Amino acid sequence: MAQVHDVDPQLIQRTRAWLLAQRNADGSWSPELHGMHEDPTAGAGETARLSTTAYIAWAVFGRRMDPALAATTHGYLLSHAASDIDDPYVLALMCNALLAMDSGGHDVRPYLARLTALRQASGDGKQVWWQRAANARTAFYGAGLSGNIETTALATLALLKSTTEVATTRAALTWLISQKDRLGTWHSTQATVLALKALLAATGQPLGGDLARTVSVSLNGVAVESLVIPPDQAEVMRQLDVSGRLTAGSNRLSLAEPSGTGVGYQIDFWYHVPGAEPPLADGPLTIDIAYDRTELHVGDRVTATTTVINHMPQAAPMVIVDLPVPPGFVADADDFAALVTSQTIAKYQLTPRSVIVYVRELSAGKSLQLRYHLQASMPVRVTSPPAEAYEYYDPQKQVLSRTVELVAKLPA
């Protein structure tokens, strides 16, 4: 934080001293056992201790600490041979920790070689990433795509620090950029933080990308615009809206890159389909929302009941439920305050268009039922948007409910 914000140096010293005081005699740090929710490292045994130690060592010894202080931890890490570590997330943490303790990078070489060997690559070789087992979670609960982004960002940071494997590093950065969501972030907090750290660390590095870029955009064979991106603005996102040029029927959007410099791009396309809704797909989570009536008078209240079910054999941590507040209706905040008091939910956030509900954990095979009221504030005939549920740290586990038409009339 001190790199981007004023921090009292004594606070850093005290925090480092406290962390060192928690270290075990063999130089390791024990995994935390969370009291409020399931520990993401639970059941991982020595691997959990190794990844915890590597993560903390990366922080504690990252600022030219006395080598004598790092000696026991350095020895503990090196006691785990690179060939015995199959998890790229743990390997990436190991590499960053060892590089923090030894800027020369001699001891880290076999771990970097093992990490590089575990990479995945696209067919054209322009993108590289690291992939974990389907149900594996990072220390910050990242799983699925979020877990892969965390792992790839950590691997990229290590490769940048070691200044080795330039082509792999460049391809990993390209993959990270391609994983942005439509909001320009990387789905979860830790994935976003680590991706940004990797991209910032690459700024100014000789990775072969310090050239001007050109992108020519055409729609239906007609040139729209030619974007020129100077080398010093490579990290700046340029937006181009072509929705006003779309015509009825089929449209073809083409992007050409005459400069041949490897430009990352993202296309965001919204559309509406008339007719009946498609059937809801089965998934690890399901969500359903029911209203006790769909026609009422202005000033009356409708009771909404939302049910979320976890169909997975393991708990779903940090579940977010986004409940719609249809136009012309107002949600009763007291209902959600009562859900917090009863510890049914952890907290909620009320907005004019939705109520965002935070659930610490939904146990395996269990359901969560949320009952609340919406008051009609004006006469409307409106289709209520679907409710949404997803794991915050694995947003690919996202489900939607069906939409419902609500009618509010003026009293007779």
CATH number, domain of 15, equals 1.50.10.20
Q: Which of 289, 272, 234 is nearest to 402 (CA)?
A: 289
- Which DSSP symbol is given to 43? T
Average pLDDT on 299-315 reads 95
pLDDT at 217 (0 to 100):
93
CA dist 133 to 118, 138, 332, Å? 12, 11, 42
Beta strand 301-310 pairing with 285-291 = antiparallel
Q: Which two tokens stand for residue 19?
A: 């962390």
Please tell me whether residues 153 and 67 are part of one structural domain. Answer: yes
Rounded-to-integer distance, Cα 390 and Cα 398, Å: 4
Q: What pLDDT, on the 0 to 100 scale, is given for residue 16? A: 92
Mean pLDDT lowest for which of 169-183, 203-217, 326-340? 203-217
Look at residue 43 in the predicted model and tell me its pLDDT: 52
Count Cα neighbours of 308 within 13 Å in the Cβ-side half-sphere: 30
Alpha helix (H) ranges present in 124-228? Answer: 144-162, 166-178, 189-202
Mean pLDDT along residues 27-34? 83
Burial of residue 14 (number of CB atoms within 10 Å: 0-12, 13-18, 19+): exposed
The pLDDT, as a whole number, for residue 283 is 84
Do 367 and 242 share a structural domain? no
Answer yes or no: are the C-beta atoms of 377 and 328 closer than 8 Å: yes
Residue range of the domain that includes 104: 9-202
On whether residue 387 sits in a domain, the answer given is yes
Pick from 201, 251, 211, 249: nearest CA to 62: 201
* Residue for token pair 């920790």: 97
Tally the domains of the chain.
3
DSSP 3-state of 321: strand
Averaged pLDDT of the chain: 89
User: Are both 292 and 404 inside the same structural domain?
Assistant: yes
Distance CA 175, CA 96 (A): 20
265 belongs to a structural domain: no
Pairing status of strand 316-324 against strand 388-391: antiparallel
| 5-29 pLDDT per residue, tens | 899 999 999 999 999 999 999 999 9
Region 272-285: what's the mean pLDDT? Answer: 76
pLDDT band at 34 (very low <50, low <70, confident <90, very high): low
Q: Is 76 contained in some domain? A: yes
Beta carbons within 8 Å of 281's beta carbon, 6+ residues apart: none
Measured in degrees and rounded to the nearest 5, phi and psi for residue 327 equal -55, 135
